[in-house]
Amino acid sequence: MKIKAYKSFQKRYHKLPAAIQDKVDRQIEQLSTNFKHPSLHTKKIKGREDIWEVRVDDFYRLTFEIVEDTIFLRIVGNHDDVLKNP
């Protein structure tokens, strides 16, 4: 699948520490080949049927939506902030 990122994702991504950016990059690479790979812990966000969550690590998450054959990255950050406004 193709991957595109909304500006909100890009803005927050660039504020992350370099080590977390590396983890995000690895998860995005995996996401592009198999968005349901077990290492991603992909799940739909409750109450938002069109938005999915991926685990970056214990504290960081990213959200995305799928439109046709493209994954749109929505937001990235710590778990609580991301899930407040996915």
Q: Which domain holds residue 53?
A: 2-84
Report the pLDDT averaged over residues 34-58: 91
Give the mean model confidence (pLDDT) for residues 30-43: 92
- C-alpha closest to that of 9 among 22, 26, 21: 21
Give CA–CA dist 42/1, Å, rounded. Answer: 15
- In degrees, rounded to 5, the angle at the alpha carbon of residue 71 between the alpha carbons of residues 30 and 53 is 70
Domain count, the chain: 1
Q: What is the CATH number for 16?
A: 3.30.2310.20
Name the percent of the chain lying above pLDDT 70. Answer: 100
| Strand positions, DSSP E, 6-69 | 43-45, 48-55, 60-67
> Quick check: pTM over 0.85?
yes
* Predicted confidence (pLDDT) at residue 86 exceeds the cutoff of 80: no
| Phi/psi of residue 32, nearest 5 degrees | -70, -25
Q: What pLDDT does 28 receive? A: 96
